[in-house]
């Protein structure tokens, strides 16, 4: 059975090319919803004008295609709540200079 953890682990291969960190560590992954063999990924970007947005979208789709049990994928780019650096993992904060 496919789990949210399976999906989250697959999304660790999706990197923001400007920051060099994956979307899970950056806190851009907001939610994963699974119904049977359909997956919905709710994610955000660091800003509305993020130039890496289309690339991240395609990388998410590719990561989902690699999961054998996924037959249907929906991606929802959301802006509420807005992304802030506080959403990042502690490791990401340290690497990007947001930690103490």
- 14, 63 contact by CB (below 8 A): yes
Is 16 among the domain residues? yes
Residue 9's CATH number? 3.30.300.130
Domain that holds residue 9: 4-80
pTM of the model: 0.92
Given pLDDT bands bounded at 50, 70 and 90, which one contains residue 82? Answer: very high
Rounded Cα distance between 46 and 21, Å, is 12
Decide if pLDDT at 99 tops 70: no
- 42, 31 contact by CB (below 8 A): yes
pLDDT of residue 73: 97
* Domain tally, the chain: 1
Is 100 among the domain residues? no
Is 69 among the domain residues? yes
Is 90 among the domain residues? no
pLDDT of residue 6: 96
């Amino acid at each position: 059975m496919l789990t949210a953890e399976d999906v989250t682990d697959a999304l660790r291969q999706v990197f923001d090319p400007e920051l060099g960190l994956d979307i899970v560590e950056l806190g851009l992954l907001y939610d994963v919803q699974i119904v049977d063999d359909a997956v919905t990924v709710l994610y955000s970007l660091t800003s509305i004008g993020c130039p890496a947005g289309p690339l991240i979208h395609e990388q998410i789709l590719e990561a989902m295609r690699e999961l054998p049990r996924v037959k249907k994928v929906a991606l929802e780019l959301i802006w509420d709540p807005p992304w802030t650096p506080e959403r990042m993992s502690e490791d990401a904060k340290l690497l990007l200079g947001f930690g103490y």
